[in-house]
Amino acid sequence: MAQPIPGTADEIRALVPAALEAYEFTRDNVLRDGVVDPGLKELCFRYLAEDPETLDLSRFEGRERVALEWAHAIAWDSSLADDVLWERLHALFSEQELVELGCAIGFELGQQHWRRTVGLPARD
């Protein structure tokens, strides 16, 4: 299907200035900056977009592995966020990091789904 509204994601968001402003704040302060290593968040965002290089979780360990498992639970099966997963999350992340990482995954998950409804790939 041709793009129903032509343009980049930001050009489409700009039809509603408050939406673009909000996205830019989130991108600059939560998705690409903050208390959690941006590289770790980027890995989770690629996993949400089903980047083939991220899908085999056995390739990862430590903070990366548990962050990806949480991303999976957030996006696809919340029952996987059980006592065991939370124990591992708390062992490897501070509470501030958990707030930021989880919400960042939620923000990115929503934006990826929205992008796909306007004929764009999940990520640039």
Binding site for other proteins (CB under 8 A): 1, 4-5, 12-13, 15-16, 18-19, 21-23, 25-26, 29-30, 33-35, 70, 73-75, 78, 81, 86, 95-96, 98-100, 102-111, 113-118
Compute the distance between CA of residue 57 and CA of residue 60 in angstroms, rounded to an integer. 6
Write down the least CB distance from residue 114 to other proteins, Å: 4
Write down the least CB distance from residue 98 to other proteins, Å: 6
Structure tokens at 45: 């965002």
Closer of 1 and 56 to other proteins (Cβ): 1
Considering only CA atoms, which of 87, 115, 97, 89 is closest in space to residue 38? 97
Compute the distance between CA of residue 24 and CA of residue 112 in angstroms, rounded to an integer. 15
Write down the least CB distance from residue 37 to other proteins, Å: 15
Write down the least CB distance from residue 45 to other proteins, Å: 12
Considering only CA atoms, which of 103, 33, 95, 91 is closest in space to residue 62? 91
Residue 83 burial class via C-beta count within 10 angstroms: exposed 0-12, middle 13-18, buried 19 and up: exposed
Closer of 64 and 108 to other proteins (Cβ): 108
Closer of 5 and 59 to other proteins (Cβ): 5
